[in-house]
Copies of this chain bind each other. A is one copy, B any other.
Amino acid sequence: MRCDVLAIGTELLLGQITDTNSQWMGEQFAAAGIDSLLQVKVGDNLARIETVLRRMLADADAVVVCGGLGPTHDDLTREAITAVMGTRLELDDGVAEVIRQMFASRGRRMAENNLRQAMVPVGATVIPQTRGTAPGLICPVTVDGAAKVVYAVPGVPHEMKDMVQRAVLPDLLARSGEAAVIRSRTLRTWGESESGLNERLDGLIARLDDAGNPTLAFLASGWEGIKVRLTAKCATAAEADALLAQWEAEVRAEVGDIVFGVDEDTMESVVLQLLRERGLSLGLAESVTGGLVAGRITGVPGASEVFRGSVVSYASEVKFDVLGVPEGPVVSEAAAEAMAIGARRVLGADVGLALTGVAGPTEQEGMPVGTLCVGLAIGEQVLSHTFRLAGQRDQMRQMSVITALNLLRGVLTGDA
């Protein structure tokens, strides 16, 4: 089964926005075992959309057309698909009613052109809209005697994702005659390289290759770590979930020490949850990261239940005067420990976590760029650790955020 992607929008070609939709679809299709071999961007031009779509359908079994479903005269996806189907557009009363009700419920007047979004090619099936005003479409086409399909989905990412997961993927899988349910589980890891992970999971990967289901993929995600994704295809959701649970346990048996979370977890959400469960509050002292750790933590709704604050002690005097760090080298484990103790005291927190280091561009106090000292004060325990991180300023600082949080996570869970 091959499903290519056509993204519509002059703004994509002008570089005003990035097409992340086709990337996301490519990732979903790959996980589902569907090939996506050509992805194209074209502008809001009816003749060009139609020409490109015809060419794409000559090679692929299916094409998702993304965008161009809005209410304005620039939105031409419906017309182009209708031409390729060799049919005509008709008002769908059900869709029109939903659009009218949506405007009424918001107390807004509906401009008449919104009904363009209720025009459906004869022979197409509507994918009901749940979030936006534009429904999606499933449009059967015959190309040189072969039955193929064109899907139309909105260009707004969350609407597109909803429709692809809810309607496009199931339909593609049904057409391919494959098992109807795809489920995946992502294990988030930190602290091992991709090749290191590969090596540690060597035997398991060989067994998975033999089994054929689920599949395992590594997704390197920079300073977010490496994701290990298991994807199962089964006849039922229950079967898929059971298979995933079995293999997740196998993966954890090999590399559980570096797994910090699953699916939508982030390092900061995991650390906050661990602190919450233990009834502990957190205070930070940040030098090298300059507030980035606090910024990440406070990005999680509900952080205020656990997080007291941070002393961003960028100038050395702030370390001495506010945090009570003894005079001496400030990029050192001794300074990191004193900062952690100071943060706990000043901020009235149960746990103090501190970061000091060298982000560059130049070395500091004879310490090379990439040096990170993390200090931690928790209960009676005060500890510190020095890391050598790669990367230039931005990358080194972001790596520092997750490295320090991971150290705290390890201590809280007893893994470190």
When chains A and B are docked, how far (Å) is the Cα of A314 from the Cα of B272? Answer: 14
Tell me if A148 counts as interface (CB < 8 A to partner B). Answer: no
Is B298 within 8 A of A295, CB to CB?
Answer: no
CB interface residues, A 379-405, toward B, < 8 Å: 393-394, 397
Q: Does A206 contact B (CB under 8 A)?
A: no
Q: Distance in Å from the Cβ of A116 to the closest Cβ of chain B? A: 23
- The answer to whether B26 touches A13 (Cβ under 8 A) is yes
Q: Name the residue on B nearest A37 (C-beta).
A: B43
A321–B394 alpha-carbon span in the complex (Å): 33
Taking a contact as CB atoms closer than 8 A, the residue among B24, B55, B307, B317 that contacts A315 in the complex is B307
> For the complex, is A40 an interface residue (Cβ under 8 Å from B)?
yes
User: Are the CB atoms of B37 and A12 closer together than 8 Å?
Assistant: no
Q: How far is the CA of A97 from the CA of B252 in the complex (A)?
A: 49
Q: Are A291 and B295 in contact (CB under 8 A)?
A: yes
Q: Which residues of B contact A310 (CB under 8 A)?
A: 290-291, 310-312, 314
Cβ contacts A1-29/B at 8 Å (1 or 0 each): 00000000000111111111011111110
Question: Hey, which chain B residues are within 8 Å of A291, CB to CB?
Answer: 286, 290-295, 298, 310, 312
Q: Is A214 an interface residue (CB 8 A)?
A: no
**B314-A294 in contact (CB<8A):** yes
A42 within 8 A of B: yes
Interface residues on A, range: 35 or more
- Looking at chain A's contact residues, the main secondary structure is mixed
Across the interface, which residues of B come within 8 angstroms of A155, CB to CB?
Answer: none
* Residue contacts A-B, CB under 8 angstroms, 16 given: A12-B23, A12-B39, A15-B30, A16-B27, A16-B219, A19-B19, A38-B41, A290-B299, A290-B307, A291-B291, A291-B292, A295-B295, A298-B312, A299-B393, A301-B361, A308-B317
Tell me the minimal C-beta distance from A330 to chain B in angstroms.
Answer: 11
Contact A20 B23 (CB under 8 A): no
Chain B residues near A314 (CB-CB < 8 A): 294, 298, 303-304, 307-310
A217 to chain B, nearest CB (A): 9
**Which B residues touch A394, using CB under 8 A?**
299
Mark contacts of A27-62 with chain B using CB atoms, 8 A cut-off: 1 yes-contact digit, 0 otherwise: 110100000111111110100100010010000000
A132 contacts chain B at the CB level, 8 A cutoff = no
Interface residue? A322 (CB, 8 A): yes
Residues of B within 8 A of A298 (CB): 289-292, 312, 314, 397
Interface centre among A14, A23, A290, A304 (most CB of B within 10 A): A290
